[in-house]
Chain A
């Protein structure tokens, strides 16, 4: 038998049907659902008289629209349209009998944080969701990717997706990371290297010592942004770190089933000599704390750099860079550390887990955020929030001047009331710096949680290495 990659192995284990031209029906083990991309899919089922094929493998949670302020059970806190979407999910989850975590449930949170937290996401699975950041679940060695609403309906009705196989790409991060450098810096540095279309047509496997050394939470941060690199999915082979994280979670296998699962999971690695169509290698020790300066996640530079000039680029990127620099209100040659910040947002499926909050607490403990700064911390789930409170992190945040919010997607995409005003500038731990992403004419600089914390204290983009 020829050598296989991790992707090949998971793919092969899930092909329910293959046509002569290679078009496959890929069986889906877990389907995660949220309120924004699902109402039309459930409506489609209703109109055609179809049922959900596997309600036990379908998990729904509202996250994009929900307010993050106290008293949010009061529907008056939502706009009429948001309330209708959340209520539609309540109704659809009940009518079609899928697992559901409503806003009032302490387990509610961002779908990509809830899935792993509850043990729905397991190694070797296929996981889809009507959300591009489904890539997050690849951290477990699960083939996980975003789908559109038509595909959501297709999975609800058939538990399969019509797919053709992607190509294999390896991203290796060798060696050790330097102090102050995090999983977020790795994933941004990779996109800076490959560009936002560098992964198009590929599934990425991240490997190498620096990846192995990451916790599960760090690995989720890395895989989360595989989509910003254009890849269909990102994967990391499961190992003891993975098994340790999964064990004992509410929906993880137990007893004899755990042993059987573990035996299979331990076969999920890329065989010696397996073929990759594209390989990228970065040295862990070369990666620095990074920040984005523009309006594409590929606009990445080390914090020690200066704003580039459009003439530094080639082809279509010259005009795009000029447009970005203008939109962001920057000047070529300006030091990144001189860029003043109005707002700090810490949260999202990229960086809304407990370790992210601990990293922030470490920087801000006993200090105060800059006068006039708006700074909010939005935990990724109700359970992350509860744990942070138990560990005393929320006390540290509130003493420093942060707003301590309830769980949701919040200002990552600003579909709820958490938004930037025109020209407001934000250091954000989220995943996209597109024009208008965090609010109309809002300006976003993507950073790690530690870097966001540093900026909150100083009022400008800051090299966190100067604070540790």
Chain B
């Protein structure tokens, strides 16, 4: 996984609440057996007409947001399915950070596996960032994971929380499986004990 570097980029506002995984990547695009190439269909039904032409009103089709690297979104972003195709599509498009008041649990975890930082903030602070994002491409936000701070285009600093282990993995671009395999002894010991305690499993 790529390391999460300090991010200085355009933020796109998506104030709609309950943006679900079917909106992020409709199921017709889940048929690939690859992990790449989903960005072209990110938010497909909101972004394109049936004939493939762009819907000009959709935020990521507006000239000032086409290169957005941050999304500021409404409550409960990523609800719905477990499909990792959702964060794959987001990352493939070039978005590295999503900010909301809340995220669906599975989506939230999936983000960290793909170098995306999901940030949870209280409503008032999301409102400030949504306002900043609405200023367009001149309003570049800075997301500093190391310092756990977001800096708005006018210099306002908003601190955020992140799980220490997840932060470490993102900053270093670590592979979870490799880390877990280092604990093989603990897993083997657990299996031996569980085999005694619950042999029917």
Residues of A near any B CB (own CB < 8 A): 13, 16-17, 19, 21, 23, 25, 27, 29, 36-37, 39-40, 43, 48, 50, 57, 65, 79, 81-82, 84-85, 88, 122, 124-125, 130-132, 134, 145-151, 153-154, 157-160, 162, 164, 195-197, 200-201, 230-232, 253, 257-258, 260-261, 264, 296, 298, 315-317, 319-320, 323, 413-415, 432, 434-437, 440
Contact B22 A253 (CB under 8 A): no
A434 to B28, CA, bound (A): 14
Extra contacts, 19 of them, besides A16-B189, A16-B190, A124-B198 (Cβ < 8 A), are A16-B183, A40-B34, A50-B177, A84-B33, A88-B33, A132-B81, A147-B106, A148-B109, A151-B109, A196-B79, A200-B76, A200-B105, A230-B105, A253-B200, A258-B200, A261-B200, A320-B17, A415-B27, A436-B45
How close is A167's CB to chain B, nearest CB, in angstroms? 12
Contact A432 B22 (CB under 8 A): yes
Residues of B near any A CB (own CB < 8 A): 15-18, 20, 22-23, 26-28, 30-35, 45, 50, 74-76, 79-84, 87, 102-106, 109-110, 113-114, 163-165, 176-177, 179-181, 183, 186-187, 189-191, 194, 197-201
Contact B79 A25 (CB under 8 A): no
Contact A23 B165 (CB under 8 A): yes
A17 touches which of B30, B87, B187, B194 (Cβ 8 Å): B187
A57 to B191, CA, bound (A): 12
A37 to B32, CA, bound (A): 10
A48 to B31, CA, bound (A): 23
How close is B15's CB to chain A, nearest CB, in angstroms? 6
Counting from the closest, the 8 A-B pairs by CB-CB distance are: A253-B200, A81-B31, A150-B113, A16-B190, A39-B33, A148-B110, A148-B84, A146-B82
Contact A197 B76 (CB under 8 A): yes
A414 to B190, CA, bound (A): 41
Pick 14 A–B contacts, CB within 8 A, sort by A.
A17-B187, A21-B165, A82-B31, A147-B109, A148-B82, A148-B83, A148-B84, A150-B84, A197-B76, A197-B102, A200-B103, A200-B105, A232-B105, A316-B16
Residue on B nearest A199 in the bound complex, by CB: B105
B83 touches which of A17, A37, A319 (Cβ 8 Å): A37
Q: Which residues on B sit within 8 Å (CB–CB) of A160?
A: 180, 187
Q: Which residues on A sit within 8 Å (CB–CB) of B109?
A: 147-148, 151
Contact B82 A37 (CB under 8 A): yes
Contact A434 B20 (CB under 8 A): yes
B75 touches which of A57, A84, A316 (Cβ 8 Å): A316
Q: Which residues on B sit within 8 Å (CB–CB) of A37?
A: 82-84
Residue on B nearest A53 in the bound complex, by CB: B187
How close is B185's CB to chain A, nearest CB, in angstroms? 9
How close is A188's CB to chain B, nearest CB, in angstroms? 16
Instruction: Evaluate whether A131 and B82 lie within 8 angstroms (CB atoms) in the complex, with A40-B33, A260-B200 already known.
Output: yes
A454 to B198, CA, bound (A): 46
